[in-house]
Chain A
Amino acid sequence: EAGVTQSPTHLIKTRGQQATLRCSPISGHTSVYWYQQALGLGLQFLLWYDEGEERNRGNFPPRFSGRQFPNYSSELNVNALELEDSALYLCASSLGRLRSPLHFGNGTRLTVT
């Protein structure tokens, strides 16, 4: 069974640009989550999508947005990049049922210069 896949692995952008990160969930999983892990910090919740709808949003500014497609894959967009957006962005998927664990991809390392 293929795991959660994220692309690209690394992304280098300049301050003010936009970044698009992509995620394909495990087959059969309907929920997709995005987390940010900045250097030295834990995982901070960004967004949760289930069945194409945004279910919850973390304490991040509106320039962080995303969507989930009919095939349950997801995209995270970060507009007007700032230096502090440099982090590892992790996508996870789950079955969408109560108490089903999240399964993570290996992340996209975003560097803003």
Chain B
Amino acid sequence: EAGVTQFPSHSVIEKGQTVTLRCDPISGHDNLYWYRRVMGKEIKFLLHFVKESKQDESGMPNNRFLAERTGGTYSTLKVQPAELEDSGVYFCASSRQGEWNTEAFFGQGTRLTVV
């Protein structure tokens, strides 16, 4: 069974540009989450999808961030325009629906550097 995969693994962009991160969850996992770790800080929750619906996006830092999950399958996280403070590692995770404490499986992360 394939795990959670994220693309790209690394991205270096200039301030003001747009970047789109992609996450492919484990097949059959209704829950999909985005987390972010800014340099020197804890990993922080960004948002949560249940299938194609946004369940909670309270962790999204501002309106420069837009997440979508087309058809309840893969998800994208777009940053437009990117700022220096957006640099960090973006993690995606997925889990089965139903059990609130079920294991979340994480991808390897996308390291975003804004210069």
> Are A and B a genuine interacting pair, yes or no?
no
Query: B-side interface residues toward A, CB under 8 Å?
Result: none
Residues of chain A touching chain B, judged by Cβ–Cβ distance below 8 Å, are none
